[in-house]
Amino acid sequence: MGTHRHRSIAYYISAHGYGHGVRSCDIIRAVNRLYPQLTVHLVTDLPSGFLFGRLGSKRNLIRTGTFDVGMVQLDSIRVDVDATLDKADELCARRRRLVDKESGWLREHGIGLVVADIPGIPLESAARLGIPRLAVGNFAWDWIYAAFLPRNPRWKAIVEVFREEYAKTDLLLRLPFAEEMKAFPHIEDIPLVASPGKSRRALIARLTGCDPDKRWILLSFTTLELKQDALAKIEQCKDYEFFTVLPLEWRGSNIHPLDRGQVAFSDVVASVDAVVSKPGFGILSDCAVNRKPLIYADRKDFLEYAILETAIGEYLKHTRISAGDLYRGELQESLNRIWKSPDPAAALPHGGDVIAARRIAKFLRISQESGKEVKG
């Protein structure tokens, strides 16, 4: 089991939105490319179709499992703080049982390294067995939840649990657009892990029957409750073709759903002229590496919003749309503004996926050159 143990990774991914999955898959794809001898177990409740589409292969092992609750979302813009508190309370009540069970799974599968983005329970399970522990992220749940302490003192115990678990991490790979992440004892900053996509305009036009000579706009939301009159207003923007990516499926004369299985998400971003979305790590990263303008909607009760908005201002051609205008389908004014917005003042370096893959191999004592375990 010794050799097998050093070649197996358990990579735990929060299912709170797709951003955690996007960046995790970017890192795992680099691991697959640089260290094909390693086995990666993905543990998450994110859909397997999304994961395989982002990874580009089915070589990795996927296991359903969740070890944090993130924020309970009504849709991509709105959250339910009270429902989140109840679910986080329930998770903490089961924490010891989950830690015990996960320690058994790690031992049974000979896992040599645990990576978390960014639940805490797997880190504690690995620490119990002496398995090395990496975390990856730009914010942590203790920081997010601490903002709600003035609303309800029940949050205090939950925040303390996450801080205790995060303190057991050997190294945090801190991504751009980050809070301080003080709960982690050792931190290394890395660049963006996203890579530019390839324009697939001809393919998308063929799949959807859209006009390739119009400006193309990606409506990048996992869920968004727009009524029919709002969709009708979007259809009135006759100079544009609009796209969603499944599971969000809207149809109209100039609104087209796309399947990640046919066109990779990064290629969709590379193919459009601008993106409409909420400020999230994944879409901000994809817009930055593909140099695409972003029309972003404001969000309530997302603590990271201010950090991400600052990054948008520095690194993206951008304009803001109010949540009210977005829900009413009133996009035309924002579309008029985005083309006149100034170009970004700075560009973000990327290549963090390769750096992260090499850190993973170092913890496993694997040499890329030899493909063998490093002795000593």
pTM: predicted TM-score of the whole model, two decimal places:
0.90
Tell me the average pLDDT of the chain: 92
Among candidates 353, 319, 312, which has minimal Cα distance to 334? 319
Q: What is the pLDDT of residues 311-336, one digit of tens each?
A: 999 999 999 999 999 999 999 999 99
pLDDT computed for residue 373 by the predictor: 46
Cα 237 → chain centroid: 30
Q: What is the pLDDT of residues 63-79, one digit of tens each?
A: 999 999 989 888 877 88
Residue 118 clears pLDDT 60, i.e. is over it: yes
Burial class (CB in 10 A: 0-12, 13-18, 19+), 207: middle
Taking residues 87-93, what's their average pLDDT? 95
Taking residues 254-271, what's their average pLDDT? 94
Pairwise pLDDT comparison (75 vs 119), residue with the higher score: 119
Q: 138: phi > 0 → left, psi -120 to 50 → alpha, else beta; which?
A: alpha
Pairwise pLDDT comparison (253 vs 370), residue with the higher score: 253
Residues whose CB is less than 8 angstroms from the CB of residue 250 and which lie 6 or more positions away in sequence, other chains included = 219, 226, 231, 242, 244, 257
Q: Is 291 helix (H, G, I), strand (E, B) or coil?
A: coil
For residue 260, name the pLDDT band (cuts at 50, 70, 90): confident
Q: Is 318 helix (H, G, I), strand (E, B) or coil?
A: strand
Cα 72 → chain centroid: 16
pLDDT computed for residue 276 by the predictor: 98
Taking residues 144-173, what's their average pLDDT? 96
The two structure tokens encoding residue 117: 């983005």
Residue 166 clears pLDDT 60, i.e. is over it: yes
SS3 track for 123-150 = HHHHHHHCCCEEEEECCCHHHHHHCCCC
Q: What is the pLDDT of residues 175-223, one digit of tens each?
A: 999 999 999 999 999 999 998 999 999 999 999 999 999 999 999 998 8
Check: CB of residue 241 under 8 Å from CB of residue 254. Answer: yes
Taken in order of first residue, the domains within the chain and their CATH numbers are 2-193+351-364 (3.40.50.2000), 201-338 (3.40.50.2000)
Residue 186 and residue 117: Cα distance in Å, rounded?
16
Handedness of CA 16, 147, 80, 228 (dihedral sign): negative
pLDDT computed for residue 371 by the predictor: 46
Which range of 9-23, 65-79, 127-141 scores highest in mean pLDDT? It is: 127-141
For residue 301, name the pLDDT band (cuts at 50, 70, 90): low
Q: Which of 59-73, 297-311, 329-343 has the lowest mean pLDDT?
A: 297-311
Taking residues 276-290, what's their average pLDDT? 93
Residue 131 and residue 120: Cα distance in Å, rounded?
14
pLDDT computed for residue 299 by the predictor: 75
pLDDT computed for residue 241 by the predictor: 98
Angle at 280 between CA 277 and CA 284, to 5 degrees: 80
The two structure tokens encoding residue 199: 């324009």
Q: Is 344 helix (H, G, I), strand (E, B) or coil?
A: coil
Handedness of CA 252, 253, 254, 260 (dihedral sign): positive
DSSP H/E element including 95? helix 95-108
Tell me whether strands 294-297 and 39-44 are parallel, antiparallel or unpaired: unpaired
Rounded to a whole number, what is the largest CA-CA distance in the chain? Answer: 67
pLDDT computed for residue 266 by the predictor: 92
Cα 78 → chain centroid: 17
How many CA atoms lie less than 13 Å away from 158 in the CB half-sphere? Answer: 29
